[in-house]
């Protein structure tokens, strides 16, 4: 009888101990989420939606503190802070990761996708997931991709209607080798520079122009220091939602699921807001005095051919398995 009582007591204790393993309520946590964009930009709206969803899923235990407008540093500083565990989250452009996983340069190949549907299929599919899988060994965990938009050139000298119009222009680019070589192919003078320094450089005429999605151009008031915006649509840009692996590893499986679910739900909202903002931004930029011009499809096709040696050069230096996957995926989504 005593043995039976002991067994029952032990079973009861085991059951009590097992409950937290399944339930594991979220702990009180403050998540510092930094990014480069202003608080009126779609990336900021995505952060806010993610924060709302995560708070709801965790019963208010997991709180997100947003730090927009480079408050926590530039792209590389925030990346280092995540790797060191000092900062918990960020949402940089994927371009900033090429320094630690060079194959992220595949996302930056010029003129690879021409529609949002193609971009989403590429990033949400096997290629995007294969790139994400390379990040944990670099101290980062990714929860998916957000929309930044197609990148377009602004400058203070002339409209860009054909490749030759870029000849000689000093264009600020993200410190990323694919971007540098792409603009060199168009005989521009690319100048790598942190985003936080860009407005001042444009104002001082240290550079003639820059390239970014319309919403970024509008939000950062580049219309004050530029004259022309040209729909080059040369690269589709995405943001990637990053978490410090040190922080991620401190979370329970239940907390990790809450974060994953919140990120997945926020993604569709962020993309919708971002793409609507891009449409509105073109008209807003014209109203602010920028001269807008389209680039003819035939000229875009010609620019793609001019940039092809850049694509071939970098593809030859990347993991051939990922390059094949990239090409296979492009063939699939372009059908």
| 3 domain residue, yes or no | no
Determine the pLDDT at residue 292: 98
Q: Could you list the pLDDT tens digit for every one of the 335 residues in the chain?
A: 445 445 444 444 444 444 344 446 789 999 999 999 999 999 999 999 999 999 999 999 999 999 999 999 999 999 999 999 999 999 999 988 989 999 999 999 999 999 999 999 999 999 999 999 999 999 999 999 999 999 999 999 999 999 999 999 999 998 888 999 999 999 999 999 988 899 999 999 999 999 999 999 999 999 999 999 999 999 999 999 999 999 999 999 999 999 999 999 999 999 999 999 999 999 999 999 999 999 999 999 999 999 999 999 999 999 999 999 999 999 999 98
Q: What is the pTM for the complete model shown?
A: 0.86
Determine the pLDDT at residue 24: 64
| 20 domain residue, yes or no | no
| 21 domain residue, yes or no | no
Q: What is the CATH number of the domain that holds 69?
A: 3.40.190.170
| 73 domain residue, yes or no | yes
Determine the pLDDT at residue 21: 40
Nearest to 230 by CA among 295, 306, 148, 301: 295
Q: What is the span of the domain harbouring residue 217?
A: 27-333
Domain count for the chain: 1
| 103 domain residue, yes or no | yes
| 22 domain residue, yes or no | no
| 43 domain residue, yes or no | yes
| 62 domain residue, yes or no | yes
């Amino acid at each position: 009888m005593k043995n039976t009582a002991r067994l029952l007591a032990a079973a009861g204790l085991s059951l009590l101990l097992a409950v937290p393993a399944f339930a594991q309520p979220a702990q009180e946590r403050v998540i510092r989420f930094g990014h480069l964009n202003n608080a009126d930009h779609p990336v900021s709206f995505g952060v806010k939606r993610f924060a709302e969803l995560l708070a709801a899923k965790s019963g208010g235990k997991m709180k997100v503190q947003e730090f927009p407008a480079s408050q926590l540093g530039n792209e590389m500083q925030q990346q280092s802070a995540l790797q060191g565990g000092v900062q918990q989250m960020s949402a940089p452009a994927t371009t900033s990761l090429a320094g630690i996983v060079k194959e992220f340069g595949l996302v930056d190949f010029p003129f690879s996708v021409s529609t949002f549907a193609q971009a989403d299929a590429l990033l949400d599919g096997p290629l995007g997931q294969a790139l994400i899988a390379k990040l944990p060994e670099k101290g980062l965990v990714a929860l998916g991709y957000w929309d930044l938009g197609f990148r377009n050139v602004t400058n203070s000298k002339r409209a860009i209607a054909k490749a030759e119009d870029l000849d000689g222009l000093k264009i600020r680019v993200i410190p990323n080798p694919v971007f540098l070589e792409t603009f060199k192919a168009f005989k521009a003078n690319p100048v790598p520079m942190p985003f936080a320094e860009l407005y001042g450089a444009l104002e001082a005429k240290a550079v003639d122009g820059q390239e970014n999605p319309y919403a970024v151009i509008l939000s950062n008031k580049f219309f004050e220091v530029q004259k022309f915006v040209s729909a080059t649509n040369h690269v589709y840009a995405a943001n990637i939602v990053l978490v410090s692996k040190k922080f991620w590893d401190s979370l329970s499986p239940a907390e990790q699921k809450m974060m994953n679910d919140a990120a997945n739900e926020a993604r569709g909202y962020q993309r919708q807001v971002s793409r609507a903002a891009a449409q509105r931004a073109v008209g807003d930029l014209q109203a602010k005095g920028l001269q807008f011009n389209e680039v003819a499809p035939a000229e875009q096709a010609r620019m793609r051919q001019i940039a092809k040696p850049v694509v071939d050069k970098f593809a030859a230096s990347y993991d051939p398995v990922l390059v094949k996957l990239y090409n296979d995926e492009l063939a699939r989504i372009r059908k």
